[in-house]
Structure 1
Amino acid sequence: MSEPTAESGAEQDGLVPVKPVEAELLVVTGMSGAGRSTASDALEDHGWYVVEGLPPQMLGTLAEIVSHAPRSIPKLAVVVDVRSEGLFTDIRSALSALSASGVAYRVLFLDASDDVLVRRFEQGRRPHPLQAGGRILDGIAAERELLRELRDSSDIVLDTSSYNVHGLATAITELFSETGPVTLRLNVMSFGFKYGLPVDANFVADARFIPNPHWVPQLRPHTGLDDDVRDYVFEAAGVKEFVDRYVHALEPVLDGYRTENKHYATIAVGCTGGKHRSVAVAVELSKRLAQYPRVTVTTTHRDLGRE
């Protein structure tokens, strides 16, 4: 009979073998003024080791160090500034090298609408780093074009337009505070079409086919969070069927996201003002999607209270 190994002996003593620790690598980037510093502070508050201003060429070296000592730095966030053509080329090469070496990582891209970015730069009384002798909008346009490809390939695109400092910190907490990677996080967001489409939406559902509670005097002051409005919305023809079929249509998408290691998606539901129909449908969608295994769902109402 062979001698018991250390592992089998531990199992005989009732101990569970220690699971190897896998380091998490998060690359944080995005538009200037979209909140990289706030995101960095929030990540540090939740146990991430944050490196800011790292040249993209050093990303692979740092990732290799962490991968060999995951217990020392189990969660590493690297904040990368790519505001020049040279740095943009470097980060693309660095990310390609990470993929080729088998290092698992995610990219968080922070974005915001042009008008919000202009207001933030004006409030801070500082120029956009790419505006040169032009306007702030010129700098934003140049940076947005430079980062378009990186944004499109990012794992998570977070629109910070409606967030103040505290709101963004809360959003980062919801995304990254848990221990260990979560398979899939869904954000179901209600919004009003008259205020524009959410820039970070992966899917958009239109709830304007539902009769509008706005035109019912006793319902107009209420919102889709109230029972009377919810009942009115879901008693309308086709609404329950719409939700059933929409959830069913998302099932292969959720499976595909897991397979492709996509960890975050935003499902946006819109009506005219984002007060009644979209809110009620978003809440119901969240309840239904939360029943799926290995899925975490949050619900946000972008335009509720905006009118």
Structure 2
Amino acid sequence: MTPGAYPKTILLLSGLSGAGKTTALKTLEDMGWEAVDNLPLVLLDRLLDTPLAAGHAGEDERPLALGIDARTRGFDAHAIVQRIKALREKYGQAIETLFLDCSGTELERRFAETRRRHPLALDRPAADGIARERELTEPLRRWATQVIDTTSFNSNGLQQEIRSRFAGERSSDPVLTIMSFGFSRGVPRNADLMFDMRFLRNPHWDEALRPRTGLDADVAAYIMADPAYEDAVGKIEDLLITLLPRYADAGKAYVTVAFGCTGGRHRSVHVATRVAKYLQDAGFSPTVSHRNMESAPQDSLEKHRPGGPKASSMKQVGAKST
């Protein structure tokens, strides 16, 4: 990397295991940041000084997020603080630090729920590892320029918090969430716009596709083969391109666009994923959430057998604005 070509923004992201570092890094990556996890800090100079490959001019403008925690080789919180100070002097720029904290009780619940072992307590109760890690990382927490307590956050809540803090020039834009859900499992209460995908052919009634989800290519192909698919979804995309800037102009902080089908595993998942990609390509920064994708498929929830509803009874795509 040529002199002066290092990233204009560098964020060191640390915190307690289970507090959401992976989610935070993935969210920053989705926002256009370059994200590197568990890079030994002694290698940061080499990373910053590596010349960009041909055709990548301008990538030095991308902000850089570095994930580091107690699992990182040679972890020493005091040494890390001194290292960052030295880098600040060398590159003449601020290196921000974000620490993700969480209550011990909530961390124990998360490790028990996911059946993961705490990295610092592989053969002991998770509480022992949490206490040890809190002690090891305390200097970083005290020195951090920003601290987020994720105790009351789910994954989607943390994503929204990261976006609201690090959106840069787009910080005045609403936090945009694209979600899929199943009508049979309840309508999301926080949806600003809701689109009903039950008019599309249903992969649930294909035995080979039933156990799969809308993220799988064969399921996507099945849904896209519906004659109404392209015209309907294309019009929804055009509508969102028109509406979202108006929400920003009105000062709305959060916008949630929900796509529903019967079970929330196939049609809504596929369409939500497609629309999110379309909006991302158009310059928006959506967070994608699939509320019911992991739910077990149930024939009793599906309303129509193979062949689907007759053309005369198919509803137009419905939208609800609040």
TM-score of the superposed pair, with normalisation by structure 1: 0.48
